[in-house]
């Protein structure tokens, strides 16, 4: 079957796909966009997060035909040239990655969170990032980065006693 959609701002076509191929498989194997990663393949870990029509979704659970006529954004499509987004810059500045495997999914979730809730409380941030697992960081630096990117970077002073 043929699927036409927008990928990181560019019109693309997929031909010959199995109807049950996941969006994650298509992005990685057909377009070489490996920022979205397979973790659990069951929607529990957040490593595969992408944006469809501006909202974060798990690419592992979304079948490729479902994006017919829609706009898909992967982590590769966030930055404008060499200029990182505030979320990406905050993840960099706050050392919010160690092995980096979950980072792209974390960044996509955080970007969606701040688009929906520009001034999150720490509770908002924790809820918004609750779909992302990290085995390395213990989450503190990730939450620091999210709060810093919002301009509400007070996490270091909250709940540390």
Partner 1 sequence: MTTAETQTLPEPVADWQQPIKASDFVAPTTVAEAVSAAAAGGAGYIAGGTHLVRYGRFGGDIPDVLVWLGGVGELGLLENDGGVLRIGSGVVHNRLEGVADQVGLIWAAAREIAGPAVRNLGTVGGNVIIDWDLVPALLASDAVVLVTGAGGARSIDLDGFHDDDGRPTVNGVDLLTAVEVSPSGAHWSYRKVGRRKGVSRAVAGVALRAAVGDDGTVTDARLAVGGSAFRSRRVPQAEQLVRGMHDPSVPPDGLGEAVRAALDDVDGDIEGPGWYVRDVAHVLAERAYVDAFGNGEH
- As to burial, measured by CB atoms within 10 angstroms (0-12 exposed, 13-18 middle, 19+ buried), residue 64 is buried
CA dihedral 9, 93, 104, 139 (to 10 degrees): -150
The residue within the footprint of partner 1, chosen from 5, 37, 49, 107 (CB under 8 A), is 49
Cβ-proximal residues to 10 (8 Å cutoff; 6+ apart), any chain: none
User: Using the rule CB under 8 A, is 14 a contact of partner 1?
Assistant: yes
Please identify, using beta-carbon distances, which residue of 1 and 156 lies nearer to partner 1. 1
Residue of 128, 143, 144, 147 interacting with partner 1 (CB under 8 A)? 128
CA neighbor of 8 nearest in space, from 58, 70, 68, 62: 70
List the one residue from 22, 88, 111, 150 that touches partner 1 (CB under 8 A): 22
List interacting residues with partner 1 (CB under 8 A).
Answer: 1, 7, 10-22, 25-26, 29-31, 38, 41-44, 46, 49, 55-58, 60-63, 65-66, 68, 109, 112-113, 127-132
């Amino acid at each position: 079957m043929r699927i036409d959609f927008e990928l990181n701002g560019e019109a693309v076509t997929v031909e010959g796909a199995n109807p049950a191929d996941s969006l994650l498989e298509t992005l990685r194997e057909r377009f070489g966009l490996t920022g979205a990663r397979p973790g659990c393949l069951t929607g529990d870990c957040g490593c595969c997060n992408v944006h469809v029509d501006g909202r974060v979704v798990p690419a592992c659970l979304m079948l490729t035909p479902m994006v017919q006529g829609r706009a898909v954004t992967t982590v590769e499509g966030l930055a404008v040239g060499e200029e990182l987004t505030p979320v990406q810059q905050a993840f960099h500045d706050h050392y919010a990655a160690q092995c980096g495997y979950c980072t792209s999914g974390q960044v996509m979730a955080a970007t969606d969170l701040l688009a929906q809730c520009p001034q999150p409380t720490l509770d908002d941030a924790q809820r918004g990032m609750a779909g992302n697992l990290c085995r390395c960081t213990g989450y503190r630096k990730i939450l620091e980065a999210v709060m810093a990117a919002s301009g509400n970077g007070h996490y270091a002073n909250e709940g540390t006693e």
